[in-house]
Amino acid sequence: MAALRMLWTGLVLLGLLGFLQTPAQGHESVHPNFQQDKFLGRWYSAGLASNSSWFREKKAVISMCKTVIAPSTDGGLNLTSTFLRKNQCETKIMLLQPIGLPGHYKYNSPHWGSVHTILVMETNYNEYALLFSRGTKGPGQDFRMATLYSRSATPKDKLKKKFISFSKSMGLTEEDIVFLPQPDKCIQE
């Protein structure tokens, strides 16, 4: 009986370790045959959905940002985002490091002290991209975020519907979803 309990415990732990090492498996598969070079260029963050407490507190005041994606020297991506904050244009640069398969990235946030796994779940490269990220800010503070990137600052309604469906499939709720308004400056097309 003790051997059976140890075997069961070992299998459960292996399953947990496998989940932690590959946080996005199963229904969370990345875009097939993802081509990073086609993903480069200018995108607009048209929609966000998250279960994080920070996002829920700030979602009413967040606006769209423009992000330029370029290759990094390590095979990953440099994301340079320009956004409006306190009536000023600010720029933030993020380095996404490749992990595993194409379309899988990791980002270490120096500001929050958190680690994010970011996946390009679906894209047609010339119109939209759906990204999903998971992270941990501290013990017991796991969060999920879905992002709708659009090549245009005014995404079509069909993309918004697709994003709502995608966000819900990732375990987020209608209350977690926001479509970001365009600010008067900082993101000119």
Domains of the chain with CATH codes = 30-179 (2.40.128.20)
Cβ pair 143, 153 in contact under 8 A:
no
Indicate which residue of 30, 48, 65, 148 is catalytic: 65
Give the pLDDT confidence of 8-44 residue by residue, as tens digits: 333 333 333 333 333 333 345 688 899 999 999 999 9
Higher pLDDT, 131 or 20: 131
Q: Say which amino acid occupies 177.
A: I
- Overall average pLDDT of the 86-102 stretch: 92
Helix boundaries (H) for 66-187: 157-169
pTM of the model: 0.81
Which residues are CB-neighbours of 184 under 8 A, at least 6 positions away?
Answer: 84
Q: How many CB atoms lie within 10 A of CB 73?
A: 7
186 is catalytic: no
